[in-house]
Amino acid sequence: MHAQGLYDPANEHDACGVGFIAHIKGNKSHSIVEQGLLILKNLDHRGAVGADKLMGDGAGILIQVPDQYYREEMAKQGVTLPPPGEYGVGMVFLPKENASRIACEQEIERAVLAEGQVVLGWRNVPVDLDMPMSPTVRAKEPVIRQIFIGRGQDIMVTDALERKLYVIRKSSGHAIQALNLLHGKEFFVPSMSARTVVYKGLLLADQVGVYYKDLQDPRCISALALVHQRFSTNTFPEWPLAHPYRLIAHNGEINTVKGNFNWMRAREGVMKSAVLG
């Protein structure tokens, strides 16, 4: 392309696709989830696909915790969930290798107990294993499970539980990293919250709603949906790097990301918080 009129190829940029839908009155429905997935499908052009047409840069959706759905599913295991806002859901990517997976699960449970919270149970997230998938993507596919965490007696409001879940996620992640597990780098927590849950992966935009069977269930309802189709530029496509992230979904590079991490690490030793501990 050559410079012409107001167009200058030197300013050419490409970026991820981001979409959002919400019911203005906060009414939850499966329709919102379906419309979010439709938006995601229509953002397919914002992602990249290489020679392998079944391998993209990753896609995902963030929705509110579908309480009734999870409640009914966990009841099949004999687990009674507390009222909404009194428990959190952690979406966890785990190593396929059994010993590493068990070690990761144990560290998460240990962190939950250390923070005075309650391990209610685990759930295998149902996925479509028959869906056409790139061999490269399939080789990297994690075991995907959810952990349900009940609030401790010292937690009175959902905001306080959210802070506990943050500490649990961070402390368990550091502990797992310190174990130097053979497959430890396959561990990742896409979300851990009492309010929202993230379904994402190294998937094409139109695969997210097929791969995750939860998203197909009419009981899976939400008043909002945040979707993201990734266009990988300065990092390689990986399952954990798909968006949405736990709190944001952005459509451009953060070229200072390594510097940001290093600056934060340099300050971790002197940081204190009255609410995080």
Q: Model confidence over 198-210: pLDDT tens digits?
A: 999 889 889 999 9
R_g of the chain, CA atoms, integer Å: 20
**What's the CA gap between 251 and 236, in Å, rounded?**
16
Residue 9 belongs to some domain of the structure: no
Of 147, 146, 149, the C-alpha closest to 85 is 149
Residue 74 belongs to some domain of the structure: yes
Residue 2 belongs to some domain of the structure: no
Residue 272 belongs to some domain of the structure: no
Task: Identify the H or E element spanning 139.
Answer: helix 135-140
- Structural domains of the chain, count: 1
- Residue 217 sits in a domain whose CATH number is 3.60.20.10
Q: Model confidence over 208-217: pLDDT tens digits?
A: 999 999 999 9
State the sign of the Cα–Cα–Cα–Cα dihedral 262, 172, 237, 195. negative
For residue 4, pLDDT beyond 80: no
Q: Model confidence over 116-153: pLDDT tens digits?
A: 999 999 999 999 999 998 888 888 999 999 999 999 99
| Res 5: pLDDT | 79
For residue 14, pLDDT beyond 60: no
Write down the pTM of the prediction. Answer: 0.87
Residue linked to tokens 């349900």: 148
- The 10 Å CB-count burial string (b at 16+, else e) for 111-122 is bbeebebbbbbb
Residue 276 belongs to some domain of the structure: no
Residue 218 is part of which domain span?
A: 15-248
Looking at this protein, which amino acid is placed at residue 256?
A: T
Looking at this protein, which amino acid is placed at residue 193?
A: S
How many CB atoms neighbour CB 24 within 10 A? Answer: 6
For residue 28, pLDDT beyond 80: yes
Residue 177 belongs to some domain of the structure: yes
More confidently predicted of 19 and 186: 186
Q: Which residues are catalytic?
A: 16
| Res 58: pLDDT | 83
Residue 100 belongs to some domain of the structure: yes
**What's the CA gap between 231 and 170, in Å, rounded?**
27
Backbone dihedral angles phi then psi of residue 39, each to the nearest 5 degrees: -60, -45
pLDDT grade for 261, boundaries at 50, 70 and 90: confident
Q: Model confidence over 48-94: pLDDT tens digits?
A: 666 666 666 788 999 999 999 999 999 999 999 999 999 999 999 99
Contact 186, 142 (CB under 8 A): yes
- Of all residues in the chain, the percent with pLDDT exceeding 90 is 62
pLDDT grade for 162, boundaries at 50, 70 and 90: very high
Classify residue 188 by burial, with Cβ atoms within 10 Å: 0-12, 13-18, 19+: middle
Q: Average pLDDT, whole number, for the chain?
A: 88
| Res 184: pLDDT | 87
Q: What would the DSSP string read from start to end of 229-255?
A: E---SSS---TTT-S--SS---SS--T
Residue 186 belongs to some domain of the structure: yes
**What's the CA gap between 237 and 242, in Å, rounded?**
8
